[in-house]
Amino acid sequence: MSFSKNIIFIALVLTIVLISAVLIYRSQQPLKIGVIYYSSEFFGPTGVPRITELLNNNKNISKKVNIYYAALTEQGDNVQDVISSFYKKGINIIIGPTTSSQAQKILPYLERYNMLAIAPEVTSPSVLGVSDNLYSIVPSDRVLADIMAELIFQDKINKVGIFYDSNNPIFSKTFINYFKQNYQGTVSFTGEVKGIEFYSDYESLKSIDGILLLTSPMQSAILVQRLKKINPDIKFYGGDYSNSKALIEYGGEAAEGIKIFSLYDKVYFETYNNTFAKSLEKRGILPCQDFINYYDAILLAINLVNSYGNDVDNLKEHIKEYTFEGIGGTIYISEDGLVYRKISILTVNNSRFVTDRVINTERGRRHGKK
């Protein structure tokens, strides 16, 4: 072998060794994930920030995870600052946002910086399935509004009124439109709630059978108390937006009997994750919708990176038609970026959320690649 060939051979070997060393170094580095939140409850009984501790103690997860948290205002007005701060830290995978209105604000920045966001609870078709940079792990309001309309009509509610939160219009207005298309009864009125203030024709409240609340837990708690005094026979229903222990704590006796969405399979969680649930309770963590969906969104991101690497374009390609077994049940992300999974209808009974029924939103679609 000539001298020049030896040099080429040595250079090739050194290149391979260097590339291998870089790949090994990168594989051993912690995965950086940015988590967006906005509710003060986020740091309360849900214990979501303690997910880092739980994940890094999970023996089934080989890669260490570093999670960086950032607060987003309810309207998402500081979204540019939040996303750019993540970008400067080298983060390209985000868990969040929480609401559909925030998602609308965040989309342009996800595309600008080419980040992948996996939202734990965003439901509006206005923001889902419109960009390869944003996915959710819960079904679209097209499906949820249809289920709610069917549920209310099956309960023999022929006249319903709707209250919605003015701070989350992307969610509420879209949900109301789809609900009206599917509901077989009469929607007597829709009322906007600003903070804890609302307006409604009191006479109309006396003549309706049910109220659908597309409001925050605190707003819902206040509304059920006030409206029960006007019409004690009204039956209440709530979207997933109302799903929180605060509804029970502040709604008191007036909240008894309300039916709400829970965007995971509660029966699955309690059946197959009983040991995990007990370990959470020992840590003082409430295994509610927020915690379970944030945990599953992060776990989904970790699984994708373990299988397909950290390149966002590659992840965007493989997240479609992807099936994931989370602690809250099986999640299937379709080719069009929408989610099909089982969700729960919960009823407040004796100051506790109990499962009324589990509904399969997949409509028979159980296929997909893992």
> Strands (DSSP E) along 15-133, which ranges?
31-37, 65-71, 93-95, 116-119
Q: Binning pLDDT at 50, 70 and 90, where does residue 21 land?
A: very low
pTM for the whole thing?
0.86
CA-nearest of 11, 200, 165, 152 to 74 is 165
- Which residue would you say has higher pLDDT here, 169 or 106? 106
Q: How many CB atoms lie within 10 A of CB 45?
A: 16
- Which residue would you say has higher pLDDT here, 203 or 125? 125
Q: How many CB atoms lie within 10 A of CB 76?
A: 21
Is the pLDDT at 17 greater than 80, yes or no?
no
Tokens of 116: 């992948």
- Could you give all domains of the chain from N- to C-terminal order, each with its CATH number? 30-139+274-340 (3.40.50.2300), 142-262 (3.40.50.2300)
Is the pLDDT at 370 greater than 80, yes or no?
no
Looking at residue 237, its pLDDT comes to 97
Flag the least confident range among 25-34, 278-287, 345-354.
25-34
pLDDT in tens, 74-85: 777 899 999 999
Is the pLDDT at 55 greater than 80, yes or no?
no
Rounded to an integer, the average pLDDT of 112-118 is 96
Q: What is the DSSP letter of 179?
A: H
Is the pLDDT at 95 greater than 60, yes or no?
yes
Rounded to an integer, the average pLDDT of 53-75 is 76
pLDDT in tens, 289-309: 888 999 999 999 999 998 898
Looking at residue 1, its pLDDT comes to 53
Flag the least confident range among 118-127, 139-148, 179-188, 356-365.
356-365
Looking at residue 364, its pLDDT comes to 38
- Which residue would you say has higher pLDDT here, 337 or 94? 94
Looking at residue 318, its pLDDT comes to 93
Tokens of 20: 């291998």
Q: At what angle do helices 141-154 and 169-182 cross, to 10 degrees?
A: 50
- Longest CA pairwise span in the chain (Å): 99
Looking at residue 39, its pLDDT comes to 60
Is the pLDDT at 63 greater than 70, yes or no?
no
Q: What's the mean per-residue pLDDT of the chain?
A: 85
pLDDT in tens, 122-165: 999 999 989 999 999 999 999 999 999 999 999 999 999 999 98
Is the pLDDT at 234 greater than 90, yes or no?
yes
Looking at residue 48, its pLDDT comes to 65
Looking at residue 60, its pLDDT comes to 65
What proportion of the chain, given as a percentage, has pLDDT over 90?
52
Flag the least confident range among 48-52, 118-122, 366-370.
366-370
Is the pLDDT at 286 greater than 70, yes or no?
yes
DSSP 3-state of 325: strand
Is the previous residue joined to 120 through a cis bond, with omega within 30 degrees of 0?
Answer: no
Looking at residue 369, its pLDDT comes to 35
Tokens of 333: 């992300």
